[in-house]
Structure 1
């Protein structure tokens, strides 16, 4: 659904694929096979028919090895998810359908809970290896730490800060597919492939993988420098002839991109496809007819469609659903259908997976439970009326404090970098990490007053909604109805309590993602200097320890 415009990974209703606007052909929602009263899971599976092959699709696991909490652990009204239950349901599916394979559509890792993230997401890759994933597309979060780290995840070896506990990390046993990710020479990231071939039940199935082109805007620019993220359908279509030449009888596309149903206030049927986002239809229409199945991702939603003769699905996120795709081969043809099955928790947990999860949970526990500060009241991540969030402002305060020795006078924090709020009372390291999990460096840059004005105006460059930065040391007012480029009210900007001087040079603090132009804030790249400070989470911990009980900040931005 984060990687640095982190809210993108989770705000499904706002997502679209941004491809061709129109789409023709017969678009038909798949019949609803689940209801609020009768979820589809893996009990009482239909008997396999001759010539039948199954593919089990998951997406956007994000390292959720332990059962996710709250709404993240539900599908509709049903509690779902957790690696021990996902493994158990997959084992049941494989027993019923031995001619089968597990496929993933990206964001297996990144923005992960501490049990995975503390160990460079190696526990999640070990889990995916154990359940027999045959292939995965890359997701935007696979690029969180750049193409070099993606190669390590694929090929194995220790992280830059040393090896994780447990067995040596040998990398993913499955290929990462990145057909639309190329450098200037047309080469894919080292270790990745455009497509792979599955042989199941005597049939060959081509599998191609792509990722949203928006990845270029939402991960650390340095980590992907020199790579472009091309049109997804074009990349899929380009590789179809090679797969067919290798004997593929049909093609399955793993796409780390997707949309959402528009249910107009009604609960969404996870096997329905009500008023699906136009971008999903557009992508199905543009993709080669040889593709019979499109397993989508990124928007963390559940749907199941037949669009332009293709089965198009998504299995929510965090391991709460499995898409069970049936391929029936007959008379030189392939019929495809799918059902999203709930990963219920009423099944005996998989013992081997429980052992893996328990090991890493025990390794993470001492650090996770360490108290690093106190909040006098809840610090929400949700935006206040003016657009910034209370927790975002506190993080900006911590970045300003971290660079005070460098004479920084203001700080800026991107809203998508704040993934969860903090409750009142004691703040543990795990809670702080959950709120700010990306490990960016705090930096100070030098900008003129006019450049700072230009930076503030870039908050409204986003096509769907403004990306209002949380701030410290600066205050201003804006008019939402003013023309683009003139939102900030003249004379309202104050730096360190003084009116902004357009020709003066100010040193301001931010994170390394924004400093590199992330989220489209390219003004930061115009800085005349860059000074490097601590990791952002370390800065937040230092700030919380020094301040005692932190209260929600007062308003710094005014919307008129």
Structure 2
């Protein structure tokens, strides 16, 4: 069934009187000239009414969740139970019923989430749902770049397969068809290829609506992505560049106006904080998009944001002093944002005084869309099937248990996996790693080692002694971070090894060890002063003593490079970064290639 047919049937099945249980509507923006100025008295022809419906930071949460964080939103009278793709579909159709001009879109981070029914399947279930929903475009969020630009463009958009069909990608969806990519484009103006400076996808989208007299009126959507993307831990993309948000938006606002577009909307995957109430704004909103709103071209009529996983409806002054809406609709599909525009058909511009904005909770007191419910059920079944798939055999336990030297069998194996991934993915031999480090106990933030791989079978009926299931490997290591190989100095490597020990405020010493690849050996003095426990002469790489003045190629996780786990030795001080494979696939691939896997010896570190 086509999108237009499905939407027509859904609208027919839900009367115009149907409403969501709770909705928060802002007051219209103050009366003021439109962004390009009201040029004399308006003609008698009626304004063109346009509805914009959007979600942001969906992250593949197709399944309704019941926990407080993912399944409720704070309301004026207490928590409201919300969320789930079957209910999103119903609310979208009810909200759009009776609207001649309704545009549906997403504001970034639609996929690359954490629910395993989606993550196990290359995020394709999210695209199946958004295709069904009738999304017309989506802003590129930072997490859309968690794999690579090619994954976003060639796979998620164009449907190109990789690996084995229906095992690694191009899964059969709930309708029985093979994945073919999204029916909608991805857009961002400020993420560009570092070599040529061009946006990696279209910078803006133009949609047309129809006035009562049949005249087509263009609406331009400038899409922006947080300018922290390129060096983010999961979206670390050294071949790309972030451009400044305000300058980029102003540039494309002028381009759109030269193309005859006067109604201009910014959809930005970047946010602000404004009190966290979905129906209002506090007195002091702050953050990147609060600054953006006060600086961006007055030709921009509304700003729809995301990324911060919060919710608000604000009206902030543009540089000309006129208020315009700045909104965010939470995360994980808990809210739907609605912007109602009135466009003067003569000027083709927004009559700002008549703009209305609402964040609608996706309540569950409406019938779930039956097609989407079947879709969710299908992917939950596929999750169980995929999770039970054997990926390797092990001959003994691989655990996170640390010995007195700070080593663990899982930690040593993961360090070897990172090292091997660098050898496999480096474009040139000289760019491959000389060594690998992985944090086994973080000074702060998260630990990448999350579970043990036991020889004894687990609770899944598909398990057996020594068998590693897909779900077990997935749960053992990773948080969607890439392996990155960089150039650092021997001094930085020594500093990192010394920094394993830190004196806490209470005077105790915290030991947060690294796992090192099998070609590294070092010793430490457990009784030495903090900061002077590792003699560089006691560190060898491929049998050669560590040279503090030499440059080495180091493989580690992006999260470690940027200091997310408290590591400071490499932060903002490395060169020639080369992105490798994502952590989940690194471990699973290593186990498969080396099966049956023996637990590595704990012989890489000694105590003097």
Q: Are residue 175 (structure 1) and residue 185 (structure 2) matched?
A: yes
Tell me, which stretches of 5 or more residues in structure 1 are unaligned?
1-40, 380-389, 460-467, 478-487, 549-555
Check whether the contact 2:23–2:358 (CA below 8 A) recurs between aligned residues.
no
Tell me: CA distance 1:278–1:409, structure 2 relative to 1, closer, same or farther (3 Å): closer
- Larger mean Cα displacement after TM superposition, 405-414 or 81-90: 405-414
Check whether the contact 1:143–1:224 (CA below 8 A) recurs between aligned residues.
no
Q: Are residue 286 (structure 1) and residue 331 (structure 2) matched?
A: no
Deviation of 1:419 (Å): 8.1
Equivalence for 1:120:
122
Give the secondary structure class of the aligned counterpart of 1:255.
strand
Q: How do 1:138-217 residues align onto structure 2 when only pairs under 5 Å count?
A: 138-152=140-154, 153-162=156-165, 163-165=170-172, 166-183=176-193, 184-189=195-200, 192-202=201-211, 203-217=217-231
Q: Are residue 231 (structure 1) and residue 228 (structure 2) matched?
A: no
Q: How do 1:406-425 residues align onto structure 2 when only pairs under 5 Å count?
A: 411-413=437-439
Equivalence for 2:28:
none
1:151-173 CA-to-partner distances (Å, cap 9, x unmatched) read 11222221244332242333222
- The TM-score normalised by the length of structure 2 is 0.64
Check whether the contact 2:142–2:235 (CA below 8 A) recurs between aligned residues.
no
Equivalence for 2:310:
301
Equivalence for 1:72:
70
Please give the alpha-carbon distance, in whole angstroms, between the structure 2 residues aligned to 1:532 and 1:119.
15
Equivalence for 1:56:
53
Check whether the contact 2:233–2:481 (CA below 8 A) recurs between aligned residues.
no
Equivalence for 1:400:
415
Equivalence for 1:90:
92
Relative contact order (C-alpha < 8 Å, sep 6+): which is higher?
A: 1
Deviation of 1:250 (Å): 1.5
Tell me: CA distance 1:130–1:497, structure 2 relative to 1, closer, same or farther (3 Å): farther
Check whether the contact 2:89–2:372 (CA below 8 A) recurs between aligned residues.
yes
1:203-234 CA-to-partner distances (Å, cap 9, x unmatched) read 43211101011111015788551x32101111
**Aligned match for 2:478, one of 436, 446, 449:** 436
Give the secondary structure class of the aligned counterpart of 1:217.
coil
Q: Are residue 471 (structure 1) and residue 514 (structure 2) matched?
A: yes
Please give the alpha-carbon distance, in whole angstroms, between the structure 2 residues aligned to 1:346 and 1:424.
42
1:223-282 CA-to-partner distances (Å, cap 9, x unmatched) read 551x32101111111111232233333111110111223x5xxxx322222232243321
Tell me: CA distance 1:148–1:404, structure 2 relative to 1, closer, same or farther (3 Å): closer
Tell me: CA distance 1:137–1:233, structure 2 relative to 1, closer, same or farther (3 Å): same
1:159-210 CA-to-partner distances (Å, cap 9, x unmatched) read 2443322423332222211111223433221xx2111112234343211101
Check whether the contact 2:72–2:81 (CA below 8 A) recurs between aligned residues.
yes
Please tell me the root mean square deviation across aligned C-alpha atoms, in Å. Answer: 4.9
Q: How do 1:356-367 residues align onto structure 2 when only pairs under 5 Å count?
A: 356-367=375-386
Check whether the contact 1:83–1:319 (CA below 8 A) recurs between aligned residues.
yes
Tell me, which stretches of 5 or more residues in structure 2 are unaligned?
1-18, 26-45, 212-216, 318-322, 401-405, 424-432, 460-468, 501-510, 517-521, 565-569, 600-604
Higher helix share: 1
**Aligned match for 1:450, one of 456, 481, 491:** 491
Deviation of 1:46 (Å): 11
